[in-house]
A = this chain, B = another copy of it.
Amino acid sequence: MKKGRLFIVSGPSGVGKSTVLRALLEQRENARFSVSATTRPAREGEIDGVDYHFVAEETFRDGIARDEFLEYAEYVGHFYGTPKKFVEAALDAGQDIILDIEIQGAAQVEKRSPEAVSIFIGPPSWAELERRLTARGTNTPEDIQRRLARAKVEIQNASAYDYFVVNGSLAEAVRELDAIMTAEHCKPKDFLPLLADA
């Protein structure tokens, strides 16, 4: 069986990344999101192993010590991380894994998993990103300016990614992400058995 590939996807707040990724997964049966481990308690309705792998803090700290995470971070008193073993098992089973992650986490994964493919989703323009952040209706003007400023910092890192997708229209962004995933499965090293057989 052909191994799956690990795709890292980053993008600034308001760019529409979640919508794009949900639509992408609708049309790629063989791809799924990675499930993070966390030390925060499960909320009502959350299912262990589906929404998160819920683990005790001691277990998480042991995992860090044993280098069992592709990346991890502490956020308001709780740990969040991507467990290597679940990702590896899914890839071995031929599934593509999508890691929806911010730029610091992406850099950690790239270091531990150099064969991962990284994709940055950017806005068509700053004006459009501001418009989308405003249209949500839940952000204060200060909040919007803070997110815009952060987006401009994040995009400086975009050239370190393997691919850059502009989310101008949803359909076009999904088409490009889908093409990237297909193209990444056309690498000669995936066909070494055939080549060796020559």
Contact = CB atoms under 8 A, between A and B. Distances in A.
A158 interface: yes
A163 interface: yes
Given A175-B182, A176-B183, A180-B183, A122 B194 contact: yes
Contact of A198 (B152, B179, B189): B152
Contacts of A76: none
A116 interface: no
Nearest to A191: B164
Contacts of A184: 183
A156 interface: yes
A188 B159 contact: yes
A25 interface: no
12 contacts: A119-B186, A120-B188, A122-B194, A125-B194, A155-B195, A159-B189, A163-B183, A175-B182, A176-B182, A176-B183, A178-B179, A183-B184
